[in-house]
Amino acid sequence: MNQPITPEEEIFDDLHSGVTALHELVKDQPAGILSPRAVESLRRLENSVSTARSRLARWRQLIKDNATVAAKKTDLAVRHHPWGFALGSLVLGLVVGMLISGGNRKED
């Protein structure tokens, strides 16, 4: 089963395609038309795209791991104190409801 492509992956694919097209264009030019500095800049650009892709994958995994840990801790806390969370939710709902309806009251 194929995983859907994320917007970040689409961006990196577009960048990679652009760098590849630029590289092909440069490769087709007569020898010596580009300065050594331009060739070095092109090489760094190619490396930057691959480095950014690997960093994005690492950050995505880190965020996923942190979210999983937070969800497990929340689940554990709710399981250990269900009545406290139920009461807290009820109070919060009442307060928000009063704040919302309080502004819509008509004075007779």
- Domain assignment of residue 90, yes or no: yes
Comparing CA positions, the residue from 26, 18, 27, 24 lying closest to residue 45 is: 18
- Domain assignment of residue 1, yes or no: no
Q: Which domain, by its residues, includes 57?
A: 7-102
Supply the pLDDT for residue 88. 94
- Domain assignment of residue 107, yes or no: no
Distance from the Cα of residue 17 to its chain's centroid:
21
Supply the pLDDT for residue 56. 79
- Domain assignment of residue 108, yes or no: no
The stretches in the chain having pLDDT less than 70 are 1-4, 26-32, 103-108
* pLDDT 10s digits, 56-71: 778 888 989 999 999 9
Question: Structure pTM?
Answer: 0.52
Supply the pLDDT for residue 16. 74
- Domain assignment of residue 80, yes or no: yes
Number of domains composing the chain: 1
The three-point CA angle 11-14-15 to 5° equals: 85
- Domain assignment of residue 2, yes or no: no
Supply the pLDDT for residue 69. 97
Supply the pLDDT for residue 94. 94
Supply the pLDDT for residue 31. 62
